Amino acid sequence: MDPGRRAGPPAPVRGRRLGLSGAGVPTPPAGAIRDPRQVRAIGSAIVRWGAAGDGGSRRPDLPWRSTRDPWAVLVSEVMAQQTQLARVVPAYRRFIARFPDPSACASAGLGDVLRAWEGLGYNRRAQNLHRAAGVIVETHGGTVPDGLSGLLALPGVGAYTARAVLAFAFEADVGVVDTNAGRVLSRAVAGRRIRPDEAQRLVDAMVPTGSGWMFGQSLLDLGALVCGVDRPRCEECPLRRRCRWAAMRLSGPDPAQGSAGVSTGQSRFAGSDRQGRGRLVDALRRGAVGPDRVGEEVGWPDDPVRVERMVSVLIDEGMVVRDAAGVLRLP
Ligand code: SF4
């Protein structure tokens, strides 16, 4: 069964804008940065560009784009944090086939969820997703909440992921700010570095009514495919005549540097605790690891103090269990 085409997604709420209370946040005009009419015109230009792509979007090959199932969208967004999409696609298909809804995930052991997370790294995201599934079952009757406050209360769900679920599952008219969107907002719309609150107000004001899904997908694609980190391809960009940084001939510091949502790059991986944690969880996916093998599996055979410190943290976090004989396993 194609997980991207599963039956029974909740009825979409096209065109819903977030309100002032309950699940919503205020969306004041973005006039402080740019004339609101220009902001809306930029949003419409982004939607036109995205809608002209194959299959109605620029990257139709991404399987979560053909579903509005909130659980599938949530899984895809959590997976896509800090992981290349080429690795996310097969893992997403595998994970959704194994855990097609929150209750399937919540009723599984964390070890099974971690095994299904293989190849994605940052295993704590799998643990958070498992916990989130538990909250969805216990607090929301097994249905992913459709409001901002409910989504933000889920473990591991931050501002971007919550709004992505609203826009991409419920088709709400809310903007999303990740590293790709952040580049476009700072370079094209603001022409300067922007704070997170400015970025959110700006992007919310750009969403054409009833186009929350298409706008969000198109904005992310524009940042990923055209307004890249090092070489923005302005000659192909639908915003080239409206872009503030292009009007400056890309002179001066890049407005995206240090701007809201824009990634500053990951810390060094080789030799890091993150690498050691990942190696140990990888080994435990294959089976139990006895105390005599832990240092070797982690890659620090000559540093038992560091190994024990890392193992203790993993045990405290609930990612790993150790029996009386010192043998480690996934929970
Ligand atoms: S015109 Fe150039 S700098 Fe401006 S948004 Fe497009 S690609 Fe980015």
Residues with Cβ < 8 Å from 192, sequence gap 6 or more? Answer: 186, 244, 255
Given a cut of 90, is residue 190 above it in pLDDT?
yes
**Best mutation site among 46, 49, 203, 226 for ligand 1, i.e. most ligand atoms within 8 A of its Cβ?**
226
Given a cut of 80, is residue 16 above it in pLDDT?
no
Residue percentage of the chain with pLDDT more than 90: 79
User: How far does the centroid of ligand 1 lie from the alpha carbon of residue 320, in Å?
Assistant: 46
Query: Any idea how long the chain is?
Result: 331
Residue percentage of the chain with pLDDT more than 70: 88
What is the average per-residue pLDDT within 272-292? 94
Nearest CA to ligand 1 atom 2: 234
Given a cut of 50, is residue 209 above it in pLDDT?
yes
User: How far does the centroid of ligand 1 lie from the alpha carbon of residue 247, in Å?
Assistant: 9
Distance CA 197, CA 165 (A): 19
User: How far does the centroid of ligand 1 lie from the alpha carbon of residue 55, in Å?
Assistant: 24
CB 47 within 8 A of CB 208: yes
User: How far does the centroid of ligand 1 lie from the alpha carbon of residue 163, in Å?
Assistant: 24
Distance CA 208, CA 213 (A): 10
Find where tokens 């015109």 sit.
41
User: How far does the centroid of ligand 1 lie from the alpha carbon of residue 268, in Å?
Assistant: 30
| pLDDT value at residue 188 | 97
| pLDDT value at residue 11 | 38
**pLDDT tens, position by position, 211-223:** 999 999 999 999 9
Q: Which atom of ligand 1 is nearest to the CA of 236?
A: 7
Q: Which residues are catalytic?
A: 77
**Best mutation site among 39, 58, 245, 259 for ligand 1, i.e. most ligand atoms within 8 A of its Cβ?**
245
Instruction: Select from 195, 110, 108, 120 the least CA-distant residue to 159.
Output: 195
Q: Report the first-to-last Cα separation within the chain, whole angstroms.
A: 29
Q: Which atom of ligand 1 is nearest to the CA of 184?
A: 5
Using a 6 Å CB cutoff, which residues line ligand 1? 184, 187-188, 226-227, 232-234, 237, 239-240, 243, 245-246
**pLDDT tens, position by position, 35-56:** 999 999 999 999 999 998 765 6
Nearest CA to ligand 1 atom 8: 227
Given a cut of 80, is residue 172 above it in pLDDT?
yes
